Structure 1
Amino acid sequence: MNEEEALQEFGLEPGSGDRERIRRLLQQEFDNTSAEDNDYLKTLCIMLFAIGHVEDTQLIWQAKRKNQDTGSYVEVQLLCGAGFEDTIMYLEQKGGQQAGEQLQYLRQCEAYDFVDFSKEEWLSNYKQYYDFEN
């Protein structure tokens, strides 16, 4: 599957019923060391961001950390589909090395990347980018 096929199948704001399939596709994409389609990886992250389950933040974090390119390509805001505060609380409660690293990263980015953060505004911008305006 590629970015265009994923958008055709799920749309930019898929329903919760598509969540597990999107999670599996994202996992496959960042497990595939030869994959070079960062647009596809990012699109899957945007879809999970749109669905907004706080548990998906760690999967998106793994995609963001896949390599240097995806680190800058997958915006930090995509880690917070459930909202910044809910994501922080989730990571604090989750514990562990990965959650700790992500928590530290989010806190470092808070003053710059989460001022007036609005999930709806980010989704609106992605809709314009992908030409999904209604």
Structure 2
Amino acid sequence: MNEEELLQLYGLEPDEVHREAIRQLLQQEIENRKSEDNEVLRLLCIMLFCIGNVEDTTLIWKAKRKNQDTGSYIDVQLLCGAGHEQTLFYLENMDGEQAHKELLYLKQCEPYDFVDFSNAEWVSHYKQYYGV
């Protein structure tokens, strides 16, 4: 599936009922080592960001960490679809190295990437980018 098909199927701000399907597609993109086009990967992360479930932060983190390109291509703000504070709280209460690494990364980015952070502003930015 390409971006146009995904946008037609789910919209940029998908309904919660599509969350699991989007998660599965994102997992497939993460595992697809042959894929060189990160647009689909990024769009799926944006869709999960728009749904705003805090539990999706760890899957988006995996997408961001897929390779060096995705590390810079997937905005750090996409890790915080449920909100910055809620995401930090969630990660602080999780066990595991991945959650710890993501938490440290988010805290390092706070002074630069989360000043006046607003989910609505980021959604607006992405709507403009995709022309929806």
TM over 0.5, shorter chain: yes
Q: Which residue is equivalent to 1:54?
A: 54
Q: Which residue is equivalent to 1:21?
A: 21
Q: Which residue is equivalent to 1:36?
A: 36
**What is the number of residues matched between the two proteins?**
132
- After superposition, give the CA deviation of every residue in 1:6-32 in whole Å (9 maximum; x if it has no partner): 111000000000000000000000100
Q: Which residue is equivalent to 1:121?
A: 121
Q: Percent identity?
A: 67
SS at match of 2:30: helix
SS at match of 1:94: coil
- Superposition TM-score, scaled by structure 2 size: 0.99
Q: CA RMSD in A?
A: 0.4
- After superposition, give the CA deviation of every residue in 1:85-128 in whole Å (9 maximum; x if it has no partner): 00000001112100000000000000100000000000001001
Q: Unmatched 5+ residue regions in structure 2?
A: none
Q: Which amino acid aligns with 1:27?
A: Q
| Whole-Å separation in 1 of the counterparts to 2:76 and 2:59 | 13
| Whole-Å separation in 2 of the counterparts to 1:19 and 1:37 | 22
Q: Which amino acid aligns with 1:122?
A: W
Would you identify which runs of 4 or more consecutive aligned residues in structure 1 move more than 3 Å? none
Q: Unmatched 5+ residue regions in structure 1?
A: none
- After superposition, give the CA deviation of every residue in 1:15-65 in whole Å (9 maximum; x if it has no partner): 000000000000000100001110110000000000000000000000000
